[in-house]
Structure formats: C-alpha cells, structure tokens
Amino acid sequence: MFVSVVVATRNRADILRKTLETLLIPANLSEGGWEVIVANNGSTDSTLELCKELGHLYPQQVRHVLEPVPGKSRALNAGVAEAKGEIAAFIDDDVSLRRDYLAQVRVGFRTYNADGVQGRVVPKCDGSPPRWFGSYCLETFTMDHGDKVHGHSAGFNGSNMAVRREILKELGGFRVELGPGSGNFLGEDAELPLRMRMAGYDKLLYMPDLVAEHRIPVVRLTKRNMRRRFLEMGRYYGYKTADSTPMLRFTAYAAKQSIRSVSTILRRYAGGRPDLAMQAEGEALIRIGTALQTWSAAMGGLRAETSWKRITPTSR
C-alpha cells in the first residue's frame, strides 16, 4: 500500500526541515512504498532550495509541487493531484512524527479498511506558556480522543489525518474558500468529513497510535492570536450550521451570553485565574463568530453544502 504524505508550507523552511527529518529516517527509507510531497504555496524563502537538496539526497521519497496561488487548500489539492499513493496522508509543516507513523497509517486502511483516519495530535509548546494559556486554549491545537481505536464523528485535524486518495479526488478535494490564506477562515480539514459522510464514505476512524507532535512556537502564544483563532472557530461553526440555525434566536442568545461573559471575565481576572478568564473570552468569541457567519450566510455569504448526490463507495 503506497502512501503519499502531503505537507503544505509557505515560508517556513527551517521548521519544514525538522518535520521532514522525522520522516526521512533509516527505517522508513529502507522500507519504501511511500513518498512525501512538499506543496509549496509560493514561498519566497529557502523552501525551494531545501526541496532540491532533499530531493537530490532522497530522489525516491521527496517531491516538490509549486502552487503559487495563496491558500493552504489550493496547495494541498496540488499535492494530491501529483500524488502516486492509494492513500493521501496530511501533516502540517510544524509537526514531529513517531517512528512508526507510516506503519500506523497503513494499519488504518489495511487492517480496518477505513475511508479516512484521524491520528492523535499532541501539542508541544516552545518554552513555558503564559499563565492565561490554559487547557481550553491548548485543546484548540490538539486531537486526543482516548487510547482506543473507534469511529470518528468529529471534524479532522489537518496536522495528522489520512484519506483514500480516490475518495478525495471524487469529492473535489479541499474547499479552496476555507483554510489559511483563503481570505476567510479556518476549517478546510474539519469540513472534509462532512462531505465524505454525505457521499457515503462514512468509515472514519480515530487512531490513537498514529501520533504527531504539534509544535506551538512562542510567537503564536499571544492573546491576539488566540482571540483571532476563537473567532475563526466560531465563523466555521456558523458556516457549517447556517441552514439549521434559527438566526434571530441564536443571535439574541449569543449577544446575551457575550454580555454576561464580560462580568465573568473580569471576575476571573480579579480572582487570579487568567486561564479561566481567557476561556470565557474564547467561548464568547466563538458565539460571536458563529452569529456573524450565520448572518453572512443569510446574506449570500459562505455556507457549507447541504445536498450532495450520494455516491456508492468504490469497492475494495
């Protein structure tokens, strides 16, 4: 079973090198049956030179694809279009993979005959996180649903996921209006399982032994970054639920709860619990983002597809 690992990147050559080094280990190189495709989203740093260097050293494993139009989803789709593998696995350019990563990907599809798998994503902060960065913030970077293989009913986390390539191609790839660089908001990874299930590809699994360690640099550990992240999370929720959300009633609820949150935030800061104060901020911003996108969808803005032709999964 040939596996194509696709990693989208833009101007993070130093971080990307560390990620690729966790794949280009002797055990993987001697095994064969895989490739890594760097989907370069118009980088202006040394990303191209890095890919040329590694492609020369590992010509059977490392490939480079250029997608100059901004957008992570566009880069991922370009990588999938060039992939050779039956399985398309996706990782971020800032993760570290365990030595058995490729073996675990194959287990998901060979042993469990899955349509798609979600691995465990373990966060690792560079340095000590600030006091306000508590478990609620940390969970936005993780995917950890326990220690047993089971059906996965949530969205995917693109730091560590894999899908049968033919299914992805059949469904048109990742939504280019979503994701980093799209000009809208996050969610290109979380949205994909919605379409897969609607098309009948519903054997989606969570695999705890498929592990990626997600590095969180200090530059991302800011309140401004987290507030933007929470608001985008809310906008994605509004995007996917616009057709089922009672707009006026939800907006009134969101406004009421957000006003209440102000006193909660102030009280928690005064009580010396900045982590809980940030949690209250995050919950309020998610509600606000959901309301904003619900209204936007009602005015003709982005919303998730609601009617998909049911496709009979390819026999395998």
Q: Note the pLDDT tens digit of each residue in 163-199.
A: 999 999 999 999 999 999 999 999 999 999 999 999 9
Select from 194, 220, 246 the last residue of a domain. 220
Give how far Cα 194 sits from Cα of 50, 86, 89, 132, 307, Å: 36, 21, 18, 33, 11
Residue 225 has pLDDT above 80, yes or no: yes
Q: What is the mean pLDDT of residues 225-248?
A: 87
Confidence of residue 313 (pLDDT cuts 50, 70, 90): very low
Both 123 and 253 in a single domain? Answer: no
Residue 303 counted as domain residue:
no
For residues 236 and 179, the answer to whether their CB atoms sit within 8 Å is: no
Q: pTM to 2 decimals?
A: 0.91
Q: Are residues 107 and 236 in the same domain?
A: no
Where are the alpha helices (H) located in 139-222, listed in sequence order?
165-170, 188-198
pLDDT at 302: 86
Confidence at 309, pLDDT banded by 50, 70, 90: very low
Task: Decide if 39 is inside a domain.
Answer: yes
Query: pLDDT tens digit string along 121-164?
Result: 999 988 889 999 999 999 999 999 999 999 999 999 999 999 99
Mean pLDDT of 274-296: 93
pLDDT over threshold 60, residue 84: yes
**Per-residue confidence band for 261, with pLDDT thresholds at 50, 70 and 90:** confident
Last residue of a domain, one of 220, 250, 283: 220
Separation between Cα atoms, residue 100 and residue 216, nearest integer Å: 22
Nearest-angstrom CA–CA distance, 73 and 229: 18
Distance of alpha carbon 155 from alpha carbon 121, whole angstroms: 13
Rounded mean pLDDT of 222-237?
Answer: 95
Q: Please tell me the predicted confidence (pLDDT) of residue 262.
A: 87
Structural domain range at position 118 = 3-220
pLDDT band at residue 71 using 50, 70 and 90 as cut-offs: very high
Rounded Cα distance between 272 and 76, Å, is 43
Dihedral angle, C-alpha 138, 16, 182, 82, nearest 10 °: -130
Average model confidence (pLDDT) across the chain: 91
Could you tell me if 54 and 140 lie in one domain? yes
Whole-Å CA distances, 262 to 255, 266, 284, 286: 11, 6, 9, 14
How far is the C-alpha of 157 from the C-alpha of 191, rounded, in Å?
10
Q: Inform me whether the pLDDT recorded for 41 exceeds 70.
A: yes
Residues 23 and 140 in one domain: yes
Q: For Cα atoms 179, 140, 171, give the angle at the middle one, nearest 5 degrees.
A: 35
Same domain flag for 126 and 37: yes
